Structure 1
Amino acid sequence: MRKFAIALLCAILSLNFYGALAENESVCHLQDPLNQCGGFCLSVLTPVLNHMTIPQDQKNYSDANKANEVLVRQYTMEKQVAALEEKQSHFEINQRNLTERQVDLEGKLTALQEALSRLEVKVKYLGFQPIGSRYFYIENYSEKSWSAASKTCRQMGGHLADIWDEAELTAVQGNLEKDTHYWLGITDLSQNMAFTSMASGKEAPFFKWAANRPTKLDNYNCVFLYNGEMYDYPCSYSFKFICQTEEGDN
């Protein structure tokens, strides 16, 4: 395009020069106008060409600047997003660590509370021992009537014991003297042949009667344990006894 403009202008100038030379034969004729007036034409054309190209150059420069600005903004935003993502990642890691720490502390707190609860029971019921899932006091020295034994257990913070099931009976029996009578907290004093638990006021949860027991005698209202079996007997007799707490060892 630039060369074409130069050639065109040179041709025009050559024609003018040729016309002038026709009038003034003292000026030389141009044999090769394009090459002979190249420098002159270029000096004349340069301002014109510059004027023609500057707007396009300015437009390209402006577009380039805008493109650069967009790239800079995009790069800045990407860095900011990356920084935010990194902060979020650190926050999530810290949050997980805090959650795990909280769970660990809650577990330790629960364990401490359970240990404290067991200690309180031991202090409150001094002399009681854990047997199975509950605490029992076994009187292996003095003998008392059923009512006196019941009173002693209440003064200690418990009740004459009942038995929950076969497993508990076996565990308790393992702590008793052989061939020895132990009062239990089971009686039918309120209603004949309806043996209830002193601790709950309801029917006793478990029975393991000896052969031919219980009897139908009106004065056989209290129950003792002997070598792992239960007998009904008059409450006035003096036997050793077993107390229980209301709290379990759970």
Structure 2
Amino acid sequence: MKIVLFSILIAVLAVQKCQANCQELRELESTCGRYCFKSLHPILEHTRILQSRISYLEAIEDSKTQEKLENIERLLHKTIDPIQALPFERIGSKYYYIEHDDEVNWFKAAHKCAELGGHLAHLQNEHDLEVLSGKLKHKYYWIDINDLANESEYISLTSGLKAPFLKWFSPGEPNDANSNEDCVQLREVDNIYTMNDISCYDKCHFICEKNKP
């Protein structure tokens, strides 16, 4: 760009010089005209070539930028598509995705369900628990209940309201062991799943729920 500006400056100075000479020597006007054209033509041609090269380089840069954006978009699709492909299965009257492989803490489980377009399982009654239990394979699964805000006040993360259904696995539960058990899991004992309070940072499998598959 500096070269282009410098070339244009030279061209302007040459024109001004020619005009001054022509004013002093009007009788040589035609000769000056030929001289000006002959002097400026290589400079103007060089300027045109430089401008063409700059336009070409700008076009290449725009093309590279567009290509980068398209690559980013493809990567995003590759990241999102596997998540969207995870199957939600109709169990009873609801749709669930049961994570049988990964074990994560309660917060990560809630985040994962949100990524899938749902939420941690929100059990509303004994029937929900019974039909879901038949699909479970492991001993522990996270659901959406917690008492993080107020001790012993068990809230559904899904609704923000008091949990509509609780079924603890033993009379001594929930016990808030070590004053650190604020999240609720489904726990299997003798092939029966009930609820247990546990540290939110323990790792369990989890169950996601959403309104539509």
- The runs of 4+ residues in structure 1 deviating greater than 3 Å are none
**Cα distance in structure 2, aligned partners of 1:133 and 1:204:** 19
What is the distance in 2 between the residues matched to 1:136 and 1:163?
11
Partner secondary structure for residue 111 of structure 2: helix
Deviations along 1:77-115, one digit per CA (max 9) or x if unpaired, are xxxxxxxxxxxxxxxxxxxxxxxxxxxxxxxxxxxxxxx
**Partner SS, residue 191 of structure 1:** coil
Equivalent in the alignment of 2:163? 204
Paired amino acid for 1:187 = N
Letter in 2 for 1:208: K
Alignment gaps of 5+ in structure 2:
1-83
Residue 230 of structure 1: aligned partner: 195
| 1-structure distance, mates of 2:142, 2:209 | 12
Q: 1:248 to 1:157 in 2, by over 3 A?
A: closer
Shift of 1:240: 0.3
Instruction: Indicate which of 99, 111, 114 corresponds to 1:154.
Output: 114
Aligned pairs for 1:1-250 within 5 A = 126-178=86-138, 180-211=139-170, 212-217=172-177, 218-227=179-188, 228-245=193-210, 247=211
Which residue in the other structure is 2:36 paired with? none
Deviations, residues 22-64 of structure 1 (Å, cap 9, x unaligned): xxxxxxxxxxxxxxxxxxxxxxxxxxxxxxxxxxxxxxxxxxx
- Indicate the SS of the match to 2:132: helix
CA RMSD of aligned residues (A): 1.9
| Aligned twin of 1:105 | none
SS in 2 for 1:151: helix
Give the aligned length.
125
Letter in 2 for 1:242: I
Unaligned runs of 5+ residues in structure 1 are: 1-123
Q: Is the 8 A contact 1:133 1:248 kept in 2?
A: no
- Deviation of 1:127 (Å): 1.1
For residue 248 of structure 1, report the CA deviation from its aligned partner.
Answer: 6.1
**Using the alignment, how far apart are the partners of 2:196 and 2:89 within structure 1?**
25
Instruction: Tell me, in whole angstroms, the C-alpha distance in 1 between the residues paired with 2:137 and 2:124.
Output: 20
Give the superposition deviation at 1:164.
1.2
Q: Contact 2:145–2:156 at 8 Å: present in 1 too?
A: yes
* Fraction of identical pairs, as percent: 37
Distance verdict in 2 for CA 1:150–1:202, change over 3 Å: same
